[in-house]
A and B are shown apart, each in its own frame.
Chain A
Amino acid sequence: AQSVTQPDIHITVSEGASLELRCNYSYGATPYLFWYVQSPGQGLQLLLKYFSGDTLVQGIKGFEAEFKRSQSSFNLRKPSVHWSDAAEYFCAVGAPNDYKLSFGAGTTVTVRA
């Protein structure tokens, strides 16, 4: 069974600074990987996904993530954060031909002025 670890529970970053959120997964083969964002009081919105091919994936809102098979990681990055990026971010892993998604515990991002 697959699983996901997000080591950072809470990150505080200054507006305009770069952001990196860590995600480590456990799965026996090449997984499907996702990053979702949840703004306060909202549902989950897909930021980006990886299935195969180029290991650097571009998403919405200026986010990108890099799949590193050797490290079992799929870290999310943004070069310059905006106050509107304050939210909770979830990494999720899925298996091919299986719709089950396993989510990490989430990382809360606070953006200070």
Chain B
Amino acid sequence: EAQVTQNPRYLITVTGKKLTVTCSQNMNHEYMSWYRQDPGLGLRQIYYSMNVEVTDKGDVPEGYKVSRKEKRNFPLILESPSPNQTSLYFCASSSRTAPSYEQYFGPGTRLTVT
């Protein structure tokens, strides 16, 4: 089954404790992206990657890091989480060869930073 998976689905952590949220897709997509969803703000892009070893900042990159060492994986790293990073995070992927530009979303990771 074609899908984007994220782990963990729920995470409660404390300020300053480094964490990684994993994202994996099995559709051989070149493009992957991370969004955060906050009430009243919709989804805002954090980082995206056009292919392996190619990443770039989105609209709200501060406090986040990403890497793309393999095509299928695109982890999101919070090196020193703060309470304002409490949010719902979504990973998405898309194919550059597809005309639809449709992005497939993972199920989301709800992060709470205390």
Task: Convert A78-112 into 0s and 1s, putting 1 for each residue whose CB lies closer than 8 angstroms to a CB of B.
Answer: 00000000000010101000011101111000000
Residue ranges of B at the interface with A (Cβ–Cβ < 8 Å): 4, 31, 33, 35, 40-45, 48, 50, 58, 90, 92, 94, 96, 99-103, 105-108
| Given A90-B43, A99-B33, A106-B42, A46 and B102 contact (CB-CB distance below 8 Å) | yes
Interface of A is mostly: strand
A-B contact count (CB 8 A): 54
Residue pair A103, B42 in contact (C-beta under 8 Å): yes
A interface bracket (residues with beta carbon within 8 Å of B): 20 to 34
Residue pair A43, B105 in contact (C-beta under 8 Å): yes
A44 lies within 8 A of chain B by Cβ: yes
Residue ranges of A at the interface with B (Cβ–Cβ < 8 Å): 4, 6, 9, 32, 34, 36, 42-46, 49, 51, 90, 92, 94, 99-101, 103-106
